[in-house]
Structure 1
Amino acid sequence: MTVEVCAYSLESCLNAQEAGAVRVELCGGLGEGGTTPSAGLIAAVREHISIALYVMIRPRGGDFVYDEKELEVMRRDIDIARSMGADGVVLGILLSDGTVDVNRTRTLVQYAHPMGVTFHRAFDLTPDPLKALEAIIETGAERILTSGQQSTAPQGVPLLAQLVQRAGDRIEIMAGGGVSADSGPLLAGIGIHALHLTGKAFRPGQQTYFPDGISMAGEIPDEHSIMYSDPDRIAALLRAVS
Protein backbone atom coordinates (compact mmCIF):
# COMPACT_ATOMS: atom_id res chain seq x y z
CA MET A 1 0.00 0.00 0.00
CA THR A 2 1.43 3.37 -1.04
CA VAL A 3 1.33 5.97 1.72
CA GLU A 4 1.80 9.66 0.97
CA VAL A 5 2.21 12.34 3.64
CA CYS A 6 0.96 15.89 3.23
CA ALA A 7 3.68 18.03 4.83
CA TYR A 8 4.10 21.73 5.52
CA SER A 9 7.66 21.74 6.88
CA LEU A 10 11.06 20.16 6.43
CA GLU A 11 10.62 18.48 9.81
CA SER A 12 7.41 16.79 8.68
CA CYS A 13 9.03 15.59 5.45
CA LEU A 14 11.90 14.05 7.39
CA ASN A 15 9.42 12.42 9.77
CA ALA A 16 7.45 11.03 6.83
CA GLN A 17 10.55 9.48 5.35
CA GLU A 18 11.68 8.08 8.71
CA ALA A 19 8.26 6.52 9.29
CA GLY A 20 8.26 4.70 5.97
CA ALA A 21 6.10 6.84 3.68
CA VAL A 22 7.09 6.65 0.02
CA ARG A 23 5.98 10.11 -1.11
CA VAL A 24 5.49 13.61 0.26
CA GLU A 25 3.00 16.20 -0.93
CA LEU A 26 4.70 19.46 0.03
CA CYS A 27 2.41 22.41 0.73
CA GLY A 28 2.37 25.90 2.14
CA GLY A 29 -0.70 27.78 3.37
CA LEU A 30 -1.99 25.43 6.05
CA GLY A 31 -4.86 27.77 6.93
CA GLU A 32 -5.98 27.82 3.28
CA GLY A 33 -5.99 24.07 2.82
CA GLY A 34 -2.66 23.94 1.04
CA THR A 35 -1.01 26.34 -1.41
CA THR A 36 2.30 26.40 -3.28
CA PRO A 37 5.23 26.18 -0.84
CA SER A 38 8.20 28.56 -0.98
CA ALA A 39 11.14 27.88 -3.26
CA GLY A 40 13.37 27.74 -0.20
CA LEU A 41 11.26 25.01 1.40
CA ILE A 42 11.18 22.95 -1.82
CA ALA A 43 14.97 23.19 -2.15
CA ALA A 44 15.60 22.24 1.48
CA VAL A 45 13.21 19.29 1.36
CA ARG A 46 14.69 17.97 -1.89
CA GLU A 47 18.17 18.18 -0.40
CA HIS A 48 17.21 16.26 2.73
CA ILE A 49 14.83 13.52 1.59
CA SER A 50 15.24 10.74 -0.95
CA ILE A 51 11.58 9.64 -1.21
CA ALA A 52 9.31 11.02 -3.94
CA LEU A 53 8.48 14.71 -3.67
CA TYR A 54 5.31 16.20 -5.14
CA VAL A 55 4.79 19.96 -4.87
CA MET A 56 1.41 21.63 -4.52
CA ILE A 57 0.72 24.08 -7.36
CA ARG A 58 -2.06 26.28 -6.03
CA PRO A 59 -1.49 30.04 -6.26
CA ARG A 60 -4.05 31.00 -3.60
CA GLY A 61 -6.73 29.70 -1.31
CA GLY A 62 -10.41 29.82 -2.17
CA ASP A 63 -11.95 28.19 -5.20
CA PHE A 64 -10.27 26.37 -8.09
CA VAL A 65 -11.30 28.59 -11.00
CA TYR A 66 -8.22 30.44 -12.21
CA ASP A 67 -7.69 33.32 -14.62
CA GLU A 68 -4.83 33.65 -17.09
CA LYS A 69 -2.61 35.58 -14.68
CA GLU A 70 -2.99 32.84 -12.09
CA LEU A 71 -2.24 30.19 -14.71
CA GLU A 72 0.98 32.06 -15.52
CA VAL A 73 1.93 31.86 -11.84
CA MET A 74 1.15 28.13 -11.84
CA ARG A 75 3.39 27.55 -14.86
CA ARG A 76 6.23 29.43 -13.19
CA ASP A 77 5.75 27.44 -10.00
CA ILE A 78 5.89 24.22 -12.03
CA ASP A 79 9.17 25.46 -13.52
CA ILE A 80 10.55 26.07 -10.03
CA ALA A 81 9.44 22.66 -8.78
CA ARG A 82 11.04 20.98 -11.79
CA SER A 83 14.30 22.92 -11.44
CA MET A 84 14.59 21.87 -7.80
CA GLY A 85 14.20 18.18 -8.52
CA ALA A 86 10.56 17.54 -7.67
CA ASP A 87 9.19 14.24 -8.93
CA GLY A 88 5.73 15.63 -9.55
CA VAL A 89 3.19 18.34 -8.86
CA VAL A 90 -0.31 18.48 -7.42
CA LEU A 91 -2.95 20.67 -9.05
CA GLY A 92 -6.55 20.92 -10.20
CA ILE A 93 -8.64 23.39 -12.18
CA LEU A 94 -12.43 23.60 -12.26
CA LEU A 95 -14.93 25.56 -14.30
CA SER A 96 -17.40 27.88 -12.58
CA ASP A 97 -20.07 25.16 -12.53
CA GLY A 98 -17.75 22.85 -10.61
CA THR A 99 -16.91 20.54 -13.50
CA VAL A 100 -13.29 19.76 -14.38
CA ASP A 101 -11.60 22.27 -16.67
CA VAL A 102 -10.19 19.58 -18.95
CA ASN A 103 -8.40 21.87 -21.39
CA ARG A 104 -6.52 23.96 -18.85
CA THR A 105 -5.72 21.01 -16.61
CA ARG A 106 -4.45 18.98 -19.57
CA THR A 107 -2.28 21.92 -20.64
CA LEU A 108 -0.61 22.03 -17.21
CA VAL A 109 -0.23 18.25 -17.08
CA GLN A 110 1.59 18.38 -20.41
CA TYR A 111 3.59 21.41 -19.28
CA ALA A 112 4.73 19.54 -16.15
CA HIS A 113 5.94 16.47 -18.10
CA PRO A 114 8.03 14.43 -17.38
CA MET A 115 6.97 15.09 -13.80
CA GLY A 116 3.87 13.25 -12.64
CA VAL A 117 0.64 15.06 -11.75
CA THR A 118 -1.88 14.39 -8.99
CA PHE A 119 -5.31 15.99 -9.37
CA HIS A 120 -6.09 17.17 -5.84
CA ARG A 121 -9.28 17.37 -3.78
CA ALA A 122 -10.85 19.92 -6.08
CA PHE A 123 -12.32 16.63 -7.30
CA ASP A 124 -14.47 16.56 -4.16
CA LEU A 125 -16.20 19.79 -5.23
CA THR A 126 -17.40 18.45 -8.58
CA PRO A 127 -21.15 17.80 -9.06
CA ASP A 128 -20.80 14.44 -10.84
CA PRO A 129 -17.83 12.41 -9.57
CA LEU A 130 -18.03 9.72 -12.23
CA LYS A 131 -17.98 12.29 -15.02
CA ALA A 132 -15.14 14.06 -13.21
CA LEU A 133 -13.21 10.78 -13.08
CA GLU A 134 -13.43 10.41 -16.86
CA ALA A 135 -12.53 14.06 -17.38
CA ILE A 136 -9.41 13.78 -15.22
CA ILE A 137 -8.33 10.61 -17.01
CA GLU A 138 -8.64 12.63 -20.21
CA THR A 139 -6.23 15.26 -18.85
CA GLY A 140 -3.43 12.71 -18.46
CA ALA A 141 -3.08 13.10 -14.68
CA GLU A 142 -1.76 9.95 -13.00
CA ARG A 143 -3.88 9.97 -9.83
CA ILE A 144 -6.81 11.59 -8.05
CA LEU A 145 -6.75 12.57 -4.39
CA THR A 146 -10.25 12.37 -2.94
CA SER A 147 -12.21 11.80 0.25
CA GLY A 148 -15.05 10.31 -1.76
CA GLN A 149 -16.82 13.69 -1.69
CA GLN A 150 -17.39 13.44 2.06
CA SER A 151 -15.79 15.20 5.02
CA THR A 152 -13.52 12.20 5.54
CA ALA A 153 -12.44 9.26 3.40
CA PRO A 154 -13.99 6.66 5.76
CA GLN A 155 -17.35 8.39 5.23
CA GLY A 156 -16.69 8.37 1.48
CA VAL A 157 -16.01 4.63 1.19
CA PRO A 158 -19.06 3.86 -1.02
CA LEU A 159 -17.98 6.37 -3.68
CA LEU A 160 -14.29 5.53 -3.28
CA ALA A 161 -15.04 1.87 -3.96
CA GLN A 162 -17.01 2.84 -7.05
CA LEU A 163 -14.19 5.08 -8.28
CA VAL A 164 -11.62 2.32 -7.82
CA GLN A 165 -13.78 -0.07 -9.83
CA ARG A 166 -14.46 2.45 -12.61
CA ALA A 167 -10.85 3.62 -12.77
CA GLY A 168 -9.35 0.16 -13.20
CA ASP A 169 -5.76 0.60 -14.29
CA ARG A 170 -6.44 3.89 -16.09
CA ILE A 171 -5.72 6.16 -13.12
CA GLU A 172 -4.77 5.77 -9.45
CA ILE A 173 -7.30 6.63 -6.74
CA MET A 174 -5.73 7.97 -3.53
CA ALA A 175 -7.89 8.36 -0.43
CA GLY A 176 -7.26 11.41 1.76
CA GLY A 177 -9.07 13.05 4.65
CA GLY A 178 -9.39 11.42 8.06
CA VAL A 179 -6.93 8.68 7.15
CA SER A 180 -5.31 7.02 10.17
CA ALA A 181 -4.28 3.64 11.53
CA ASP A 182 -7.93 3.11 12.49
CA SER A 183 -9.36 3.85 9.05
CA GLY A 184 -6.49 2.58 6.90
CA PRO A 185 -7.52 -1.11 6.87
CA LEU A 186 -11.09 -0.18 5.87
CA LEU A 187 -9.80 1.86 2.93
CA ALA A 188 -7.25 -0.75 1.93
CA GLY A 189 -10.02 -3.32 1.92
CA ILE A 190 -11.85 -1.63 -0.96
CA GLY A 191 -8.78 -1.82 -3.16
CA ILE A 192 -7.75 1.83 -2.89
CA HIS A 193 -4.40 2.42 -4.59
CA ALA A 194 -2.85 4.85 -2.09
CA LEU A 195 -3.49 6.59 1.22
CA HIS A 196 -2.80 10.25 1.98
CA LEU A 197 -2.52 11.69 5.47
CA THR A 198 -1.00 14.54 7.42
CA GLY A 199 -0.54 12.47 10.58
CA LYS A 200 -0.80 15.74 12.42
CA ALA A 201 -0.04 16.29 16.06
CA PHE A 202 0.64 19.47 18.02
CA ARG A 203 3.27 20.59 20.50
CA PRO A 204 3.76 23.94 22.23
CA GLY A 205 5.87 26.47 20.33
CA GLN A 206 8.89 28.17 21.88
CA GLN A 207 7.42 31.67 22.06
CA THR A 208 6.01 32.36 25.52
CA TYR A 209 4.54 35.87 25.12
CA PHE A 210 1.30 36.33 23.20
CA PRO A 211 -0.82 39.49 23.58
CA ASP A 212 -4.52 38.94 24.10
CA GLY A 213 -6.97 39.53 21.28
CA ILE A 214 -4.52 39.23 18.37
CA SER A 215 -4.78 36.30 15.98
CA MET A 216 -2.71 35.64 12.87
CA ALA A 217 -4.93 32.80 11.60
CA GLY A 218 -8.16 32.19 13.43
CA GLU A 219 -8.90 29.02 11.44
CA ILE A 220 -6.16 27.05 13.20
CA PRO A 221 -7.51 25.55 16.46
CA ASP A 222 -4.42 26.62 18.39
CA GLU A 223 -2.02 28.88 16.54
CA HIS A 224 0.33 28.89 19.51
CA SER A 225 1.22 25.30 18.65
CA ILE A 226 3.29 23.97 15.76
CA MET A 227 1.68 21.38 13.52
CA TYR A 228 3.91 18.58 12.35
CA SER A 229 3.54 15.11 10.88
CA ASP A 230 3.92 12.60 13.70
CA PRO A 231 6.12 9.68 12.50
CA ASP A 232 4.48 7.33 15.00
CA ARG A 233 1.03 7.98 13.49
CA ILE A 234 2.34 7.45 9.97
CA ALA A 235 4.15 4.27 10.97
CA ALA A 236 1.03 3.02 12.74
CA LEU A 237 -0.97 3.40 9.53
CA LEU A 238 1.71 1.57 7.55
CA ARG A 239 1.65 -1.29 10.04
CA ALA A 240 -2.14 -1.38 10.00
CA VAL A 241 -2.41 -1.74 6.23
CA SER A 242 0.65 -3.91 5.59
Structure 2
Amino acid sequence: MLYEFCAENLTNVESALKAGARRIELCDNLAVGGTTPSAGVIEQAVALIHKHEGATVRAIIRPRGGDFVYSKAEFKAMETDIRYAGANGVDGVVIGCLKRNGSGDGFELDREGTERLVKVAQSVGEMRGRELGITFHMAFDALDPQTELDAIDVLVELGVDRILTHGGAAGTPIEDNLDRLKACIDRAGSRLVILPGGGITYENAPAVASALGVTELHGTKIVRL
Protein backbone atom coordinates (compact mmCIF):
# COMPACT_ATOMS: atom_id res chain seq x y z
CA MET A 1 0.00 0.00 0.00
CA LEU A 2 1.31 3.44 -0.96
CA TYR A 3 0.23 6.23 1.35
CA GLU A 4 0.25 9.76 -0.08
CA PHE A 5 0.40 12.37 2.66
CA CYS A 6 -1.09 15.78 1.94
CA ALA A 7 1.26 18.33 3.51
CA GLU A 8 0.85 22.04 4.10
CA ASN A 9 4.28 23.35 3.19
CA LEU A 10 7.00 21.63 5.25
CA THR A 11 4.74 20.93 8.22
CA ASN A 12 4.85 17.26 9.25
CA VAL A 13 6.64 16.12 6.08
CA GLU A 14 9.50 14.50 7.99
CA SER A 15 7.09 12.92 10.51
CA ALA A 16 4.86 11.57 7.74
CA LEU A 17 7.78 9.97 5.93
CA LYS A 18 9.00 8.34 9.13
CA ALA A 19 5.45 7.07 9.73
CA GLY A 20 5.37 5.32 6.35
CA ALA A 21 4.17 7.84 3.75
CA ARG A 22 5.97 7.37 0.45
CA ARG A 23 4.49 10.18 -1.59
CA ILE A 24 3.92 13.75 -0.49
CA GLU A 25 1.39 16.07 -2.09
CA LEU A 26 2.93 19.44 -1.34
CA CYS A 27 0.48 22.33 -0.87
CA ASP A 28 0.06 25.72 0.70
CA ASN A 29 -3.25 26.96 2.13
CA LEU A 30 -5.05 23.71 2.91
CA ALA A 31 -7.85 25.78 4.45
CA VAL A 32 -8.97 26.58 0.88
CA GLY A 33 -8.17 23.13 -0.48
CA GLY A 34 -4.54 23.75 -1.32
CA THR A 35 -2.66 26.26 -3.47
CA THR A 36 0.79 26.32 -5.08
CA PRO A 37 3.61 26.26 -2.51
CA SER A 38 6.37 28.85 -2.70
CA ALA A 39 9.62 28.37 -4.59
CA GLY A 40 11.55 28.08 -1.35
CA VAL A 41 9.18 25.49 0.07
CA ILE A 42 9.40 23.42 -3.12
CA GLU A 43 13.20 23.44 -3.05
CA GLN A 44 13.46 22.50 0.62
CA ALA A 45 10.73 19.86 0.42
CA VAL A 46 12.34 18.15 -2.56
CA ALA A 47 15.69 18.01 -0.76
CA LEU A 48 14.08 16.63 2.40
CA ILE A 49 11.82 14.07 0.73
CA HIS A 50 14.42 12.68 -1.63
CA LYS A 51 16.64 11.81 1.32
CA HIS A 52 14.13 9.06 2.12
CA GLU A 53 14.50 5.98 -0.07
CA GLY A 54 11.59 5.54 -2.48
CA ALA A 55 9.83 8.75 -1.42
CA THR A 56 8.47 11.13 -4.05
CA VAL A 57 6.74 14.52 -4.09
CA ARG A 58 4.05 16.06 -6.25
CA ALA A 59 3.33 19.78 -5.97
CA ILE A 60 -0.15 21.18 -6.40
CA ILE A 61 -0.36 23.86 -9.08
CA ARG A 62 -3.33 26.05 -8.16
CA PRO A 63 -3.06 29.85 -8.09
CA ARG A 64 -5.94 30.50 -5.67
CA GLY A 65 -8.79 29.01 -3.71
CA GLY A 66 -12.36 28.99 -4.98
CA ASP A 67 -13.52 27.35 -8.17
CA PHE A 68 -11.39 25.72 -10.85
CA VAL A 69 -12.33 27.97 -13.78
CA TYR A 70 -9.25 29.96 -14.63
CA SER A 71 -8.43 33.15 -16.53
CA LYS A 72 -5.75 33.50 -19.20
CA ALA A 73 -3.43 35.14 -16.67
CA GLU A 74 -3.96 32.31 -14.20
CA PHE A 75 -3.14 29.71 -16.84
CA LYS A 76 0.10 31.55 -17.62
CA ALA A 77 0.93 31.59 -13.91
CA MET A 78 0.30 27.84 -13.66
CA GLU A 79 2.50 27.16 -16.67
CA THR A 80 5.34 29.07 -15.02
CA ASP A 81 4.83 27.23 -11.73
CA ILE A 82 4.90 23.83 -13.47
CA ARG A 83 8.16 24.72 -15.20
CA TYR A 84 9.71 25.91 -11.96
CA ALA A 85 8.56 22.92 -9.90
CA GLY A 86 9.69 20.45 -12.54
CA ALA A 87 13.06 22.10 -12.97
CA ASN A 88 13.61 22.01 -9.22
CA GLY A 89 13.09 18.32 -8.69
CA VAL A 90 9.44 17.51 -8.01
CA ASP A 91 8.37 14.11 -9.26
CA GLY A 92 4.96 15.28 -10.40
CA VAL A 93 2.39 18.05 -10.41
CA VAL A 94 -1.24 18.13 -9.31
CA ILE A 95 -3.62 20.11 -11.52
CA GLY A 96 -7.32 20.51 -12.21
CA CYS A 97 -9.21 22.73 -14.66
CA LEU A 98 -12.96 22.97 -15.20
CA LYS A 99 -15.34 25.15 -17.17
CA ARG A 100 -19.04 25.91 -16.90
CA ASN A 101 -21.24 23.45 -18.74
CA GLY A 102 -23.56 24.47 -21.55
CA SER A 103 -26.53 25.12 -19.28
CA GLY A 104 -24.43 27.08 -16.81
CA ASP A 105 -25.68 25.13 -13.82
CA GLY A 106 -22.64 22.91 -13.36
CA PHE A 107 -19.14 22.10 -14.52
CA GLU A 108 -17.41 19.98 -17.11
CA LEU A 109 -13.79 19.16 -17.72
CA ASP A 110 -11.83 21.98 -19.34
CA ARG A 111 -10.15 19.79 -21.92
CA GLU A 112 -8.29 22.61 -23.64
CA GLY A 113 -6.95 24.06 -20.40
CA THR A 114 -5.98 20.68 -19.00
CA GLU A 115 -4.22 19.72 -22.22
CA ARG A 116 -2.31 22.99 -22.13
CA LEU A 117 -0.96 22.29 -18.63
CA VAL A 118 -0.27 18.62 -19.38
CA LYS A 119 1.81 19.56 -22.41
CA VAL A 120 3.89 21.94 -20.30
CA ALA A 121 4.48 19.18 -17.75
CA GLN A 122 5.41 16.71 -20.48
CA SER A 123 7.85 19.16 -22.05
CA VAL A 124 9.51 19.70 -18.68
CA GLY A 125 9.89 15.95 -18.31
CA GLU A 126 11.46 15.68 -21.74
CA MET A 127 13.92 18.50 -21.05
CA ARG A 128 15.10 17.04 -17.77
CA GLY A 129 15.15 13.46 -19.03
CA ARG A 130 12.74 12.20 -16.37
CA GLU A 131 8.97 12.08 -16.72
CA LEU A 132 6.87 14.44 -14.63
CA GLY A 133 3.85 12.65 -13.16
CA ILE A 134 0.46 14.34 -13.50
CA THR A 135 -2.43 14.03 -11.02
CA PHE A 136 -5.84 15.58 -11.67
CA HIS A 137 -7.02 16.75 -8.25
CA MET A 138 -10.39 16.92 -6.50
CA ALA A 139 -11.77 19.44 -8.95
CA PHE A 140 -12.90 16.12 -10.42
CA ASP A 141 -15.50 15.86 -7.65
CA ALA A 142 -17.36 18.91 -8.98
CA LEU A 143 -18.48 16.82 -11.97
CA ASP A 144 -21.67 14.77 -11.96
CA PRO A 145 -21.26 10.97 -12.02
CA GLN A 146 -21.70 10.40 -15.76
CA THR A 147 -19.56 13.41 -16.66
CA GLU A 148 -16.87 12.00 -14.35
CA LEU A 149 -16.75 8.71 -16.22
CA ASP A 150 -16.45 10.45 -19.58
CA ALA A 151 -13.76 12.74 -18.13
CA ILE A 152 -11.68 9.72 -17.15
CA ASP A 153 -11.43 8.73 -20.81
CA VAL A 154 -10.31 12.23 -21.77
CA LEU A 155 -7.74 12.45 -18.98
CA VAL A 156 -6.28 9.10 -20.03
CA GLU A 157 -6.00 10.38 -23.58
CA LEU A 158 -4.28 13.57 -22.44
CA GLY A 159 -1.64 11.74 -20.38
CA VAL A 160 -2.80 12.17 -16.78
CA ASP A 161 -1.64 9.22 -14.65
CA ARG A 162 -3.76 9.71 -11.52
CA ILE A 163 -7.09 11.17 -10.46
CA LEU A 164 -7.45 12.19 -6.83
CA THR A 165 -11.11 11.89 -5.84
CA HIS A 166 -13.34 11.66 -2.80
CA GLY A 167 -16.06 10.06 -4.87
CA GLY A 168 -18.60 12.67 -3.78
CA ALA A 169 -19.07 16.11 -2.26
CA ALA A 170 -16.48 17.32 0.23
CA GLY A 171 -17.38 16.44 3.79
CA THR A 172 -19.40 13.33 2.96
CA PRO A 173 -18.20 10.14 4.65
CA ILE A 174 -15.87 8.20 2.36
CA GLU A 175 -17.89 5.07 3.17
CA ASP A 176 -20.92 6.64 1.47
CA ASN A 177 -18.97 7.12 -1.75
CA LEU A 178 -17.59 3.64 -2.32
CA ASP A 179 -19.99 2.77 -5.15
CA ARG A 180 -19.10 5.91 -7.07
CA LEU A 181 -15.40 5.31 -6.49
CA LYS A 182 -15.77 1.71 -7.70
CA ALA A 183 -17.44 2.97 -10.89
CA CYS A 184 -14.49 5.27 -11.53
CA ILE A 185 -11.99 2.49 -10.80
CA ASP A 186 -13.80 0.16 -13.21
CA ARG A 187 -13.86 2.82 -15.93
CA ALA A 188 -10.18 3.65 -15.51
CA GLY A 189 -9.04 0.04 -15.47
CA SER A 190 -5.29 -0.11 -15.83
CA ARG A 191 -5.15 3.09 -17.86
CA LEU A 192 -4.64 5.39 -14.87
CA VAL A 193 -4.80 5.24 -11.07
CA ILE A 194 -7.88 6.35 -9.18
CA LEU A 195 -6.48 7.71 -5.92
CA PRO A 196 -9.15 7.86 -3.18
CA GLY A 197 -8.80 10.70 -0.67
CA GLY A 198 -10.74 12.89 1.72
CA GLY A 199 -11.86 11.43 5.02
CA ILE A 200 -9.39 8.54 4.83
CA THR A 201 -7.23 8.13 7.93
CA TYR A 202 -4.76 5.58 9.21
CA GLU A 203 -7.70 4.09 11.12
CA ASN A 204 -10.11 3.43 8.24
CA ALA A 205 -7.52 3.08 5.46
CA PRO A 206 -7.33 -0.74 5.59
CA ALA A 207 -11.12 -1.08 5.29
CA VAL A 208 -11.33 1.44 2.43
CA ALA A 209 -8.47 -0.22 0.54
CA SER A 210 -10.06 -3.63 0.97
CA ALA A 211 -13.49 -2.44 -0.18
CA LEU A 212 -12.09 -0.76 -3.29
CA GLY A 213 -9.19 -3.06 -4.11
CA VAL A 214 -6.76 -0.13 -4.41
CA THR A 215 -3.08 0.07 -3.57
CA GLU A 216 -2.79 3.85 -3.07
CA LEU A 217 -4.61 6.16 -0.62
CA HIS A 218 -4.36 9.89 0.09
CA GLY A 219 -4.99 12.10 3.10
CA THR A 220 -3.77 14.54 5.72
CA LYS A 221 -4.16 11.80 8.36
CA ILE A 222 -3.26 8.83 6.19
CA VAL A 223 -0.38 7.89 8.51
CA ARG A 224 -0.20 8.13 12.28
CA LEU A 225 2.09 11.04 13.15
Task: Name the SS of the counterpart of 1:95 in structure 2.
Answer: strand
Letter matched to residue 72 of structure 2:
E
Deviations 1:49-100 (A, max 9, x none): 2220100000011100111110000001011101210000000100112111
Matched, 1:187 2:208: yes
Q: Deviations over 1:134-156 (max 9, x none)?
A: 22222210000001124243221
Secondary structure, counterpart of 1:99 in structure 2:
strand
Matches within 5 A, 1:18-97: 18-50=18-50, 51-97=55-101
> Which 4+ runs in 1 deviate beyond 4 A?
none
Alignment partner, residue 120 of structure 1: 137
> Which residue of structure 1 lines up, in the alignment, with residue 223 of structure 2?
234
Residue 157 of structure 1: aligned partner: 178
More helix by share: 2
CA contact (8 A) 2:33 2:65 kept: yes
Which amino acid in 1 is paired with 2:164? L
Structure 1 partner of 2:150? 131
Distance 2:4 2:202 in 1: 14
Deviation at 1:19, TM superposition (A): 1.0
Q: Is the 8 A contact 1:91 1:117 kept in 2?
A: yes
Find the aligned partners of 2:2 and 2:86 in 1 and give their Cα distance.
23
Post-superposition Cα deviations, 1:89-135, rounded to whole Å, max 9, x if no partner, equal 00010011211111221221121122111000000001222122222
| Letter aligned with residue 178 of structure 2 | V
In structure 1, how many angstroms separate the alpha carbons of the residues matched to 2:113 and 2:195? 22
Could you tell me whether the CA contact under 8 Å between 2:9 and 2:37 is conserved in 1? Answer: no
1:148 to 167, 177, 188: 167
Larger Rg: 1
- Give the counterpart of 2:193 among 156, 172, 178: 172
**SS of equivalent residue, structure 2 residue 41:** helix
TM-score (norm: length of structure 1): 0.80
Q: Which runs of 5+ in 1 are unaligned?
A: 200-232, 237-242
Which has the higher mean CA deviation after the structures are superposed, 179-188 or 36-45? 179-188
**Matched residues in 2 for 1:27 and 1:10: separation?**
9
Q: Which runs of 5+ in 2 are unaligned?
A: 102-106, 126-131
- SS, match of residue 196 in structure 2: strand
1:31, distance to aligned residue in structure 2 (A): 1.9
Deviation at residue 181 of structure 1 after TM alignment: 2.7
Whole-angstrom distance in 2 between the partners of 1:14 and 1:149: 31
Deviation, structure 1 residue 186: 2.5
Structure 2: how far apart are the matches of 1:193 and 1:164? 12
Give the equivalent residue in structure 1 for 2:104: none
Task: Return the alpha-carbon distance in structure 2 between the equivalents of residues 158 and 184 of structure 1.
Answer: 16
- Per-residue CA deviations over 1:21-60 (Å, capped at 9, x if unaligned) read 1100000012211000111111111111222010000001
| Per-residue deviation, 1:235 | 4.4
Decide whether the 8 Å contact of 1:146 with 1:153 is kept in 2. no
